[in-house]
Amino acid sequence: MKIAEAIKLTRTEFIIWISSVTLIVSFFLIFDRGNYMALAASLIGTTSLIYNSRGVPLGPALMIAFSLLYGIISFEFRYYGEMITYVGMSLPMAIFALVSWMRNPFEKGKAQVRVNRISWGEAGLMFLISIFVTVAFYFILKYFGTANLLPSTLSVTTSFIAAYLTFRRSPYFALAYACNDVILIVLWTLAIFKDISYLSVLVCFAVFLFNDTYSFIRWRIMQKKQEKVAVSE
C-alpha cells in the first residue's frame, strides 16, 4: 500500500476537512480554552471520518485514538454509557475494522477497501443482537447512575450497529454513525446546560453528522464503481 495514496485528499475532501477543523477550533477558542483533550478528540475524530469516507485504513486507525479520548471525556461527565461503548466496544471494533480493511483492498497494493454487501439474514441477526445489547446495557447503565439514561442507551445501540457495519465494510456504517451523531447531539446539548465548555463537544458531533452523511454518499458511489468494474472483468 502506498502511503501517499492513503493520506491524499481530493479538493472536496480537503475543503470539508479544513472547514470542520476551523469550526471546531473556533468554538473551542470562544467557549472552552481549557479542555484540550476534547479538542484533540474532536480533531482526531473529524480527520478519521474524512479517511473513512475514502475507504482507507487510516480512518479506523484514527478512530482507535478517538474512542480512547472520547471515553475519558464521557467518564468525566458521568456518561458511562458513552465511556463503556467507545472504550469497550468501538475501540476494539475499530481495531478489527482496521485489520479487515487492510486485508480486503479493492485492488492489490491499493489503499481503498473493497466495499461489501451483507445479506438480509446477517442484517437480521445484527439487529437481533443489538436488541439484546440494548436491553443489557440499559440495566447496566441504570445501575451505574448514568446521566440521561434513555438517550445514552440508544447511543449504545446505534454505536454497536455502526461498529459492526464498519467491520463488515458496509456503506451503511456511515448511516448508522449519522444516527448516533443525532443522539450524541442531544446528549451534549443537555450537558451544556450544566457546563458551557461542552459546547465544543456538541459542535464536534454536529460536524460528525455532516461528515458521516458525506461518507455514506461516497461509499455508495464507491460500491457502484467497484461492482461495475467487477462485472466488466
pLDDT confidence tier of residue 233, bands split at 50, 70 and 90 = low
Grid coordinates standing for 77? 461527565
> Does any domain span residue 61?
yes
> Does any domain span residue 2?
no
> Does any domain span residue 77?
yes
- 126 within 8 A of 132, measured Cβ to Cβ: no
Using the structure block, give the residue that is written with the C-alpha cell 440495566.
139
Note down the domain range covering 195.
10-102+120-232
> Does any domain span residue 39?
yes
Q: What is the pLDDT of residues 102-154, one digit of tens each?
A: 999 988 777 889 999 999 999 999 999 999 989 998 998 888 887 788 888 89
> Does any domain span residue 107?
no
Domain count, the chain: 1
- For residues 91 and 85, the model is more confident at 91
> Does any domain span residue 108?
no
> Does any domain span residue 114?
no
Residue 35's pLDDT is: 75
pTM for the complete prediction? 0.86
Q: Where are the alpha helices (DSSP H) in the chain?
A: 3-7, 11-31, 36-54, 58-76, 80-85, 91-103, 120-143, 149-167, 172-192, 199-232
Grid coordinates standing for 153? 442507551
> Does any domain span residue 146?
yes
